[in-house]
Amino acid sequence: MAKTPPKTTSRNKGKVADPPAKPPLGPKLSESYAEPQALGGETHQIAGADVATLTTSQGAPVADDQNTLRQGARGPALLEDFHFREKIFHFDHERIPERVVHARGYGAHGFFELTESLADITRADIFQRVGERTEAFVRFSTVVGNKGSFDLARDVRGFAVKLYTREGNWDLVGNNIPVFFIQDAIKFPDVVHAAKPEPDREFPQAQTAHDNFWDFISLTPESMHMVMWIMSDRTIPRSYRFMEGFGVHTFRLLDAEGRSTFVKFHWKPRLGLQSVVWNEAVKINGADPDFHRRDLWDAINLGAFPEWDLGLQLFDQDFADQFDFDVLDPTKIIPEEILPVRVVGRLVLDRVVDNFFAETEQVAFCTQNVPPGIDFSNDPLLQGRNFSYLDTQLKRLGGPNFTHLPINAPRCPFANFQQDGHMAFFNPKGRVNYEPNSWGAEGGPRENPERGFRSFTEEADGPKVRLRAESFADHYSQARQFYLSQTAIEQKHIGDALTFELSKVERPDIRARMVSHLINIDPGLAGTVANGLGLTELPLPAQAAQPTREDLPPSPALSIVQRGPGSLMGRKLGVLLTDGADAALYDALVKAAAKAGAVVEVVAPKIAGAVLSDGQLVPARQKIDGGPSVLFDAVAVLASPEGAALLAGDGAAKDFVNDAFGHCKFIGYSEAAERLFEKAGLLPDLDEGCLKLASAKDARAFIDACGPLRFWPRELKVDLDAKA
């Protein structure tokens, strides 16, 4: 019997073109299972307004929700108070176990639109018809921290996409980094245990800067490529909207005849890549630990819908055989310069959730959820994930019926003989609950050899063994390639990150062991870290299963700076404004920012805002001590002489410009604001990244200059490590 889940309702923010009509859903629930009423129902009047009548979960109207039932006004509470019992019972159980990893996440609804058909290489329905839209739900997350940790930890970001296709749900459960720490899933508990807070003391939270993590990593050479990525700025992204996503593993696409094409999946942000610097991340976590959540929520509600292109790296067995590394090794990539990414669609997030728990917290992603036409490779990490994820959902969501929850249920008709269990919303109707049976049309669903999922037919041969393929043994060459693909400032950040993390490691032997691996990646990097740690001499290079190749060319696609947006589009300009500031200059700056696609947020000494020179009151979004410059991509200070004198005596205002300068941001300023810069100690050190604003032309030039987002030459002057 076909069964259809209840629809999820969601508020719609902004407008996009109507998607094509959805396929018909399966039959409605049996009449014996009436669909629940929406919250609310019977109304009554309070202060002239119609309000819903409060009821128990069983629908009984509640007369008093302020007091428990007692024996006398000061007497004992009575056990028969079923309303109190139900209310406190539900409250006591309203939390479900958080995810072991990826606990802190944030999600949004949207759609995937196909822009190029892949009908020639896959039977997957989602890749057939150009222009067709498929409903999607995306959850971003950190990996190590708990649900209550902060957004801007130095951590890998989960990038999990659920696509509700016509032939079942497809969960592309990826990260913002295309490789992983380990090659075999049997080591997954170990790497997670090592990264989590140390079990005797339960700290540090959401950080890998401790002995256990680096002890494990320094004993696991296969992690070295991932180490370069996690110590790069990729793990401190400015926004979910400005980061890439990757399927990590090699998958297969299958056509109607079962022919296979290998595929690696990429999500490319249309707004370009962008990260923060470490000092900035630390301060953002203090100023707004929900920074990434708020950014996504605000962007969607403003109608600035985040978009990514879906790109595929497609290749056959001949390419796989000739490639320098094993395509089944999840610690390796195929550089885009060798195998270009082919864009075939776009992902748009255009709706925030109605309820965080019901959608973002209860969504269940499983790597084994693939529709016909998409299949797995023998990547040992992927094989292990396929086994593990289902187990995880059973633990978190209480039983096998988590697929009945609206956020997890398919949008296409579905039918099977699964029954009962905790919270079974749907059960087969009639007497037949098994297969095969001889009841004909009344006997329920049957397999469909023509449309059903089929796995790739692949011969497997060899002894039953526990070993790692020799083709997985090169642990340093791509790590070196990644490092050499970075710009000089990005290489500096990797060295800074390694030095910082290892400086938190208490055992000198672990620090030295890690440096011994870095020697195999790049001796210059190893020397930088050793110097930062105060090692008196370099250790011997770590023993390598295979020598590091030095002939791999740099891949510019691996650099954030070289893949930057080149404009302020989708970014935020913070304007520190005082009473009496030039109204014409402010208006010109707002217009120039809007033309560039940027959002302007006003910071002022008072939250009511600032009265400009023409008497116009401009409301503030932030008060100066609650709106530090770390929240913005570029800043401007527009002050009157009196306002500048006021700011010059304020510590938060001096921090505002000092942080912006130290984080290499572009700074625009009116002439009067120089008094603030002087008191902050920035004069006479202002550079080409600081632009004086006196006219509308200056405002436009400033916005144009902000395109690179950072004035990186400044870092070499303001950072002690750069001078060492």
Cα(701)–Cα(687) distance, integer angstroms: 15
At residue 708, the pLDDT reads 96
CB 419 within 8 A of CB 425: no
The single-letter DSSP state of residue 265 is E
Which residue type is seen at 389?
Y
Would the pLDDT of 89 be above 90? Answer: no
Would the pLDDT of 22 be above 50? Answer: no
Concatenated DSSP letters for 469-515? Answer: -GGG---SHHHHHHHHTS-HHHHHHHHHHHHHHHHT---HHHHHHHH
The residue ranking higher by pLDDT, 41 or 188, is 188
Would the pLDDT of 692 be above 80? Answer: yes
Q: Which residue(s) pair with 573 in the sheet?
A: 600, 634
Burial class (CB in 10 A: 0-12, 13-18, 19+), 255: middle
Taking only the tens place, the pLDDT of each residue in 448-484 is 888 888 899 888 878 878 889 999 999 999 999 999 9
At residue 464, the pLDDT reads 78
Would the pLDDT of 717 be above 80? Answer: yes
Given pLDDT bands bounded at 50, 70 and 90, which one contains residue 430?
confident
Average pLDDT, the chain: 91
Tell me the average pLDDT across 532-539: 95
Q: Which domains does the chain have, with CATH numbers?
A: 105-414 (2.40.180.10), 471-561 (1.20.1370.20), 567-719 (3.40.50.880)
Angle at 499 between CA 493 and CA 503, to 5 degrees: 145
At residue 435, the pLDDT reads 87
Which residue type is seen at 242?
F
Given pLDDT bands bounded at 50, 70 and 90, which one contains residue 433?
confident
The residue ranking higher by pLDDT, 82 or 584, is 584
At residue 58, the pLDDT reads 83
Given pLDDT bands bounded at 50, 70 and 90, which one contains residue 723?
low
CB 207 within 8 A of CB 502: no
Q: How are beta strands 667-669 and 690-692 bridged, if at all?
A: parallel
Would the pLDDT of 143 be above 70? Answer: yes
At residue 87, the pLDDT reads 84
Taking only the tens place, the pLDDT of each residue in 536-581 is 999 999 999 999 999 999 999 999 999 889 999 999 999 999 999 9
Would the pLDDT of 23 be above 70? Answer: no
For residue 110, give the 3-state DSSP assignment. strand
Would the pLDDT of 20 be above 60? Answer: no
At residue 722, the pLDDT reads 67
Active site residues: 102, 175
Q: Residue 540: how many CB atoms within 10 A of its CB?
A: 8
At residue 264, the pLDDT reads 98
At residue 75, the pLDDT reads 85
Tell me the average pLDDT across 639-653: 97
Longest dimension (CA), the chain: 90
- Token readout for 525 is 């990097």
Q: Which residue(s) pair with 265 in the sheet?
A: 312
At residue 19, the pLDDT reads 42
Given pLDDT bands bounded at 50, 70 and 90, which one contains residue 724?
low
Taking only the tens place, the pLDDT of each residue in 358-381 is 999 999 999 999 999 999 999 999
Give 649-701 as a 3 state SS string: CCHHHHHHHHHHHHCCCCEEECHHHHHHHHHCCCCCCCCCCEEECCCHHHHHH
At residue 501, the pLDDT reads 98
Residues 6+ apart with CB under 8 A from 633: 238, 274, 568, 571, 572, 573, 598, 665, 706, 709
Tell me the average pLDDT across 154-181: 97
Taking only the tens place, the pLDDT of each residue in 268-300 is 999 999 999 999 999 999 999 999 999 999 999
Taking only the tens place, the pLDDT of each residue in 303-355 is 999 999 999 999 999 999 999 999 999 999 999 999 999 999 999 999 999 99
Given pLDDT bands bounded at 50, 70 and 90, which one contains residue 1?
very low
At residue 283, the pLDDT reads 97
The residue ranking higher by pLDDT, 19 or 723, is 723
Residues 6+ apart with CB under 8 A from 13: 300, 301, 303, 350, 351, 352
The residue ranking higher by pLDDT, 88 or 565, is 565
- How far are the Cα atoms of 25, 163, 347, 409, 420 from residue 7, in angstroms, in the given order? 11, 16, 22, 9, 21
Residues 6+ apart with CB under 8 A from 465: none
Cα(162)–Cα(410) distance, integer angstroms: 10
Taking only the tens place, the pLDDT of each residue in 194-247 is 999 999 999 999 999 999 999 999 999 999 999 999 999 999 999 999 999 999
At residue 339, the pLDDT reads 98
Taking only the tens place, the pLDDT of each residue in 573-621 is 999 999 999 999 999 999 999 999 999 999 999 999 999 999 999 999 9
Cα(296)–Cα(307) distance, integer angstroms: 12
